[in-house]
Amino acid sequence: MNYVKTFGLMALMTALLAGIAGYFGGGSWAVGALVFAAIFNFGSYWFSDRAVMKMYGAREIDRSEHPELYDMVDELRQRAGLPMPTVAIADRDQPNAFATGRNPENAVVCVTKGILPLLDRDELRGVLAHELAHVQNRDMLIMTLAATMSAAIVTLSRFGVFFGGGRDRGGAVGAIAMMILGPLAAMLIQMAISRAGEFRADRTGAEIAGDPNGLAGALEAMERAAERQPMEVNQAAAHLAIVNPLRGDLASGLAKLFRTHPPTEERVQRLREMATPGA
């Protein structure tokens, strides 16, 4: 999914927020909801790096602690044309990684301690390049906005049922339906944005590292480990990790709609195709 489609999904979420507010409270509620969302988004984006680091129990490191990891990030960020990010390690046994920060100048690239003994050099380079791709693509902004907009929609839907006037226009059944369907639609849009960002970062990361197979192998190894050992982390930050830290991928069919991450096998297939001449 390209940038136009991603921002189109964000526009849908904005329209959904305004529509729910208008249903319950009319035009004044719609305007107020958009103003509130803008303020909430700004605050969440500005302090996102500190909040996410805390959720994952991560701390900043310098080169003296992990020179190989630090130098690998430095080499890859130069290949990507990015400023040097903060390098961090999360005290988690599950192998995983994430990027956060409000812009490339204030970015954080973090790996868990469990990733270091699991992956070989090429696989670790692929993971770090994937996270730097998120920085380069400014995915943190889009994902933060999607998460906060979704939270605002859920809150507004619940508040409106009890204090809004929508039930006078559509009846109690309509108000309850809006409370259920509004957040559900917001969640699906948020997940679509997250999945689109992961596919895009896989491709860009493979180009930065120069080897799609490294990232493909890393995803397979981390997925197997995550299924055996789920991570205890705030669900609001789970979509930032390179593989789902909470549990393995859900079953196929309708459940695919509720994944925050694309199916790992599909990601690996796309990367293997990149590595094949003429693909």
Structural domain spans, the chain:
3-275
Give the model's pLDDT for residue 210.
95
Q: Which residue has the tokens 């990367």?
A: 271
Give the model's pLDDT for residue 133.
97
- Report DSSP state, residue 76: H
Of residues 68, 75, 131, 266, which has the active-site annotation?
131
Burial class (CB in 10 A: 0-12, 13-18, 19+), 252: exposed
Give the model's pLDDT for residue 1.
45
Q: Are 219 and 241 in contact (CB under 8 A)?
A: no
Q: Between residues 218 and 160, which one has the greater pLDDT? A: 218
Is 131 annotated as catalytic? yes
What would the pLDDT profile of 198-229 be if each residue is shown by its tens digit? 999 999 999 999 999 999 999 999 999 998 98
What would the pLDDT profile of 95-122 be if each residue is shown by its tens digit? 999 998 888 999 999 999 999 999 999 9
Q: Between residues 166 and 36, which one has the greater pLDDT? A: 36
DSSP conformation letters of 128-140: HHHHHHHHHHTHH
- Report DSSP state, residue 241: B
Give the model's pLDDT for residue 41.
65
HSE value, Cβ hemisphere, 13 Å, CA-based, for 4:
0
What would the pLDDT profile of 3-61 be if each residue is shown by its tens digit? 565 566 566 667 776 777 666 666 676 677 677 666 766 766 777 788 889 889 999 99
| 72 Cβ neighbours under 8 A, 6+ residues apart | 121, 124, 125, 128
Handedness of CA 172, 163, 14, 201 (dihedral sign): negative
For residue 4, CA distances in Å to 10, 11, 24, 63 come to: 10, 10, 30, 39
Q: Which helix (H) or strand (E) holds 39?
A: helix 27-46
pLDDT at 194 exceeding the cut of 80: no
pLDDT band at 251 (very low <50, low <70, confident <90, very high): very low
Predicted TM-score (pTM) of this structure: 0.77
Give the model's pLDDT for residue 98.
94
